[in-house]
């Protein structure tokens, strides 16, 4: 039986967390819980949460801690996360959220926290080329040489740039990352759970090998 795991992944916007999370979640057979995806789902469905979050997200701000803690707490209570574990992507993003996660996790603490490290200049370049299919969520990196850059190769849907990938919103998100999220690196290092992984290099290079678990 494959052991589960409770993992948090940190890293700047555009560091490649989404791609690595898909691999980690397959390897450990745990759900990939992305708060960004959950919020975008709520926006698409037009729920109260979605309406509140949309404006904040488009401007590159952070949704309030209390709201985020409530959503994640509820998700972690579901059977898959309770029994096998999870990989959390996009949460915690502030020290308040990290404290709340420690409390929610209780006697099942995190196994590891991965810091997928990529320098700011590099992620700015990556994000400006980032595209996503609106229908199936496939991610693309624009090269400028595609024949049909705005049509999804997987499902034929519309390929677009995320609403919050404008240069202003990206810079705001990166500033907030340094202010609010980077302190979590020390927080988890202090708990002895942090593993730093270089996010520049071959994305095919399996992250699980680099973790040595
Ligand atoms: P990125 O890491 O590129 O900013 P995400 O998909 O992780 O994108 O999140 C998109 C947006 O959703 C964030 O910019 C923020 O507005 C909101 N969000 C996601 N997770 C959180 C969180 N834990 N706390 C506050 N806001 C969040």
Task: Give residue 145 CA to ligand 1 midpoint distance, Å.
Answer: 30
Percent of the chain at pLDDT > 70 equals 94
Helices (H), the chain: 17-28, 35-45, 48-59, 65-76, 79-83, 95-105, 120-128, 167-176, 183-190, 207-211
How many beta carbons lie within 10 A of that of residue 154, not counting itself? 12
The burial of 179, by beta-carbon neighbours within 10 Å (0-12 exposed, 13-18 middle, 19 or more buried), is given as exposed
pLDDT tens digits, 27-56: 999 999 999 999 999 999 999 999 999 999
Residue 77, pLDDT above cutoff 90: yes
- Closest approach atom of ligand 1 to CA 34: 7
Pocket test for ligand 1, best of 38, 66, 90 (most atoms within 8 A of CB): 90
Catalytic residues: 17, 93, 130, 162, 173
Q: What's the pLDDT score for residue 178?
A: 96
What does residue 21 show for φ and ψ, rounded to 5 degrees?
-65, -35
Q: What is the pLDDT of residue 213?
A: 55
For residue 2 the two structure tokens come to 């494959």
pLDDT at residue number 204: 67
What is the signed CA dihedral for 10, 15, 17, 23, rounded to 10 degrees?
Answer: -130
pLDDT tens digits, one per residue of 152-182: 999 999 999 988 888 888 999 999 999 999 9
Q: What is the whole-number distance in angstroms between the Cα of residue 109 and the centre of ligand 1?
A: 23
* Confidence label for 3 from pLDDT (cuts 50, 70 and 90): confident
Average pLDDT over residues 129-149: 92
């Amino acid at each position: 039986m494959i052991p589960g795991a409770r993992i948090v992944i940190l890293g700047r916007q555009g560091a490649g967390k989404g791609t690595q999370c898909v691999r980690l979640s397959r390897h450990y057979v745990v759900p990939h819980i992305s708060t960004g995806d959950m919020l975008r789902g709520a926006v698409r469905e037009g729920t109260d949460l979605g309406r509140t979050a949309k404006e904040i997200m488009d401007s590159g701000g952070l949704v309030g801690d209390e709201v985020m803690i409530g959503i994640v707490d509820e998700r972690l209570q579901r059977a898959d996360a309770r029994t096998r574990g999870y990989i959390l992507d996009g949460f915690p993003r502030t020290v308040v959220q990290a404290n709340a996660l420690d409390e929610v996790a209780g006697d099942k603490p995190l196994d590891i926290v991965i810091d997928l490290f990529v320098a700011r200049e590099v992620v700015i370049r990556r994000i400006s080329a980032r595209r996503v299919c609106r229908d199936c969520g496939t991610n693309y990196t624009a090269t400028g040489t595609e024949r049909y850059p705005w049509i999804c190769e997987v499902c034929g849907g519309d390929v677009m740039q995320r609403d919050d990938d404008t240069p202003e919103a990206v810079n705001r998100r990166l500033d907030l990352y340094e202010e609010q999220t980077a302190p979590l690196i020390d927080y988890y290092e202090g708990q002895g759970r942090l593993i730093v992984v270089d996010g520049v290099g071959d994305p095919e290079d399996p992250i699980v090998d680099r973790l040595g678990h």
